Structure 1
Amino acid sequence: MTMEHDELLHMLDDQRRVFRIAMRGLSEAEARKRTTVSELTLGGLLKHLTWCERAYTHILTEQPGTPEGMLDVSQYTWEGGSFEELLAAYAQAARVTDEAVRATDLDKMVQMPSAPWDPNPEPWSVRRIMLHVLRETAHHSGHADIIREALDGASTTEQLYSLG
């Protein structure tokens, strides 16, 4: 493993931590509640980012077939299971992603699966896949912050600096 691996995983883990701040102290009902005109909920975002970690780890480790749920547009909604189980699944997916990244060369090229928006995708480096996961996590952290603030006034930024 290189310093670049360490830096990339450090930044991703830091963004995961910021995302999880929006989940602090939520009840099941709050995690399911829509607070904006969007269909997004905090639980739905958590489910999506769990899927994202799992799917891109599936791809970067070159497992056969399209990752389960990759084309499922319902992944932003969350119906079943407990919120605690969902949080645990996200933590587990992150651990598996980190292990996979540590075990591979960031320059390794991996064939991306086809999708309706890209039927003939080009291969991506493991580095690009991880930068995509980082971007996805950061993007949805912003959504989570807005949803949480609309829910109960909690500010991720305020909690980040007051609770660490």
Structure 2
Amino acid sequence: MTEETLTLDPERTALLAELATARAALVTTTRDLTDEQAGARPTASALCLGGLIKHVASVGEGWMRFVVEGPSAMTYDLPEAPWNEPGGVRSARQVLVHVIAETAQHTGHADILRESIDGRTAS
């Protein structure tokens, strides 16, 4: 039996590397936290680091299922917003770029939360 190697084009390789970098930064932000710290809500919002990780993971999974299975994979309707055009079509590339942007944005939120919890910053 031979093993096939999947070769990605340079754009896919770059996009997937960027997503991996954003995810790694998010995970690094939560390193060495206790369960209590991961559940802490140090700001006026209800955000906590544990919840943020769960959110990024579940929403990212949902969007990737959308790419593979189509709109029927979404477990909820997208909210009305200028960027969620009713009946709009998204390419796999557009979805991946969206997931990268959202992950990076939430990583910034995580940095703020972590610094509020114990003063640690990402750098």
Shorter-chain TM band: 0.7 to 0.9
Whether 1:47 aligns to 2:13 is no
3-state SS, counterpart of residue 72 of structure 2: coil
Unaligned runs of 5+ in 2: 1-7
Whether 1:37 aligns to 2:44 is yes
What CA distance in whole angstroms lies between the structure 1 residues aligned with 2:70 and 2:98? 18
1:56 to 63, 81, 93: 63
> How far 1:63 sits from its partner (Å)?
4.7
> How far 1:115 sits from its partner (Å)?
2.8
What CA distance in whole angstroms lies between the structure 1 residues aligned with 2:71 and 2:91? 17
Unaligned runs of 5+ in 1: 71-113, 158-164
**Normalising to structure 1: TM-score of the pair?**
0.64
- Tell me how large the CA RMSD over aligned residues is: 1.6
What CA distance in whole angstroms lies between the structure 1 residues aligned with 2:104 and 2:71? 28
TM-superposition CA deviations, 1:89-137 (whole Å, max 9, x none): xxxxxxxxxxxxxxxxxxxxxxxxx434147231111111000000000
Who is 1:76 aligned against? none
Who is 2:93 aligned against? 127
What CA distance in whole angstroms lies between the structure 2 residues aligned with 1:67 and 1:28? 30
AA paired with 1:15? A
3-state SS, counterpart of residue 37 of structure 1: coil
How many percent of aligned residue pairs carry the same amino acid?
34
What CA distance in whole angstroms lies between the structure 1 residues aligned with 2:108 and 2:69? 30
How do 1:61-80 residues align onto structure 2 when only pairs under 5 Å count? 61-63=68-70, 65-68=72-75, 70=76
3-state SS, counterpart of residue 38 of structure 1: coil
Whether 1:143 aligns to 2:106 is no
What CA distance in whole angstroms lies between the structure 2 residues aligned with 1:43 and 1:56? 20
Distance 1:116 1:155, change over 3 A: closer
3-state SS, counterpart of residue 69 of structure 2: coil
Structure scoring higher RCO (CA < 8 A, sep ≥ 6) equals 2
AA paired with 1:59? F
